[in-house]
Amino acid sequence: MKMYYDDDVDAEVVADKTIAVIGYGSQGRGQSRNMADSGLNVIVGLREGGSSWQKAIDDGMNVKTIEEAAEAADIIHILLPDETQEKVYKEQIAPYVEAGNTISFSHGYNIHFGLIQPGEDVNIVMFAPKGPGSRVRTTYLEGFGIPGLVAIEQDATGDALQLALGMAKAVGLTRAGVIETTFKEETETDLFGEQTVLCGGLTALIKAGFETLVEAGYQPEIAYFETCHEVKLIVDDIYENGMAGMWHDVSNTAEYGGLTRGNRVITDATKAEMKAILGEIQDGTFKKEFADENATDAANLKEMRAAEERETIEVVGKRLRIACGLQKEDE
């Protein structure tokens, strides 16, 4: 494992570069503001009059259209949603890319799957915070940062790694440490983690536990507390102290019960399905499925999203969060 920290970075490499951050969502907002506060010359490229245009101006950012930002930039850092990057790149960015430019990302999806294919005379790099954009910003303001990844797909100028690390340092990532990886490894592991553990696996596990208790006649509010609300407490403990530290912190009853029953829930069949899902990511099945979904304007996703909001656990959970002061009624 190769890890980079502040002292490993030649920040002067990016000091005279103009960096266009394309997109102003969670990552775009956090990363661009951090780079600007670190003294880099940052332009935010957006659709004029779009939902983020005024927000970026109010934040004090230098805002231009995507075309104007791409034309002015030495480094074009694309932080749009995966499903929109290909179209925006081809129509609004590619015409302005020049030899020696750097095309940068925080997720390898579009490069790894060949949806965006810059010429051989530009750098293709990635630096990826391992956390949401809001945390990228708050930890930076606190004087620290969150860990990240760095990858070089194409080094046309001979200094692509230092350019990527220079931006990562300006965002605050090298304060915590940045691990070197590849576009392939980052993309495939990121999708796998989202689908089987962090998003898909975790929510399915929570819902199954909630439904089991409710179907057995227990109050849904109590079921929610036991299977969903307390997840944060356990995850925070694992985040800070590792699994061994978490086992040390919980009761002996919880430790014994968890260690003797966990493998009855997550079985060899579960792991086999995880391997199948990883295979679908590696062979492009998921990429094609996601592309087909977006070709229908995400009709299936919108239907699933609406169905999730109607789930009993969501209705009960929102009511409890409001009652406990964790959420406002209009959210």
Give how far Cα 90 sits from Cα of 67, 70, 321, 326, Å: 11, 12, 44, 43
Residue 202 near residue 287 (C-beta atoms within 8 A): no
d(CA 139, CA 161): 24
Say if residue 52 carries a ligand binding annotation. Answer: yes
Q: Is 248 a catalytic residue?
A: no
Say if residue 251 carries a ligand binding annotation. Answer: yes
Say if residue 26 carries a ligand binding annotation. Answer: yes
37-57 burial string, b = 16+ CB within 10 Å, else e? Answer: bbebbbbbbbeeeeebbeebe
Sequence-distant (6+) residues with CB within 8 A of 152 are 123, 124, 125, 126, 160, 161, 164
Say if residue 134 carries a ligand binding annotation. Answer: no
d(CA 133, CA 152): 22
d(CA 229, CA 145): 27
State the burial class of residue 255 (Cβ atoms within 10 Å of its Cβ: 0-12, 13-18, 19+): middle
Q: In what order do the strands lie in the sheet with 41-46?
A: 3-4, 178-180, 148-154, 123-129, 102-105, 75-78, 18-22, 41-46, 62-65
Say if residue 226 carries a ligand binding annotation. Answer: yes
State the burial class of residue 253 (Cβ atoms within 10 Å of its Cβ: 0-12, 13-18, 19+): exposed
Say if residue 148 carries a ligand binding annotation. Answer: no
- Active-site residue, selected from the candidate residues 107, 112, 229, 248: 107
Say if residue 297 carries a ligand binding annotation. Answer: no
Say if residue 211 carries a ligand binding annotation. Answer: no
d(CA 48, CA 63): 9
Strand partners, 175: none
Say if residue 303 carries a ligand binding annotation. Answer: no
d(CA 281, CA 275): 10
Say if residue 133 carries a ligand binding annotation. Answer: yes
Please state the separation of Cα 78 from the chain's center in Å. 13
Residue list for the binding site for Mg(2+):
190, 194, 226, 230
Annotated catalytic residues are 107
Residue list for the binding site for substrate:
251
Residue list for the binding site:
24-27, 47, 52, 133, 190, 194, 226, 230, 251
Residue list for the binding site for NADP(+):
24-27, 47, 52, 133
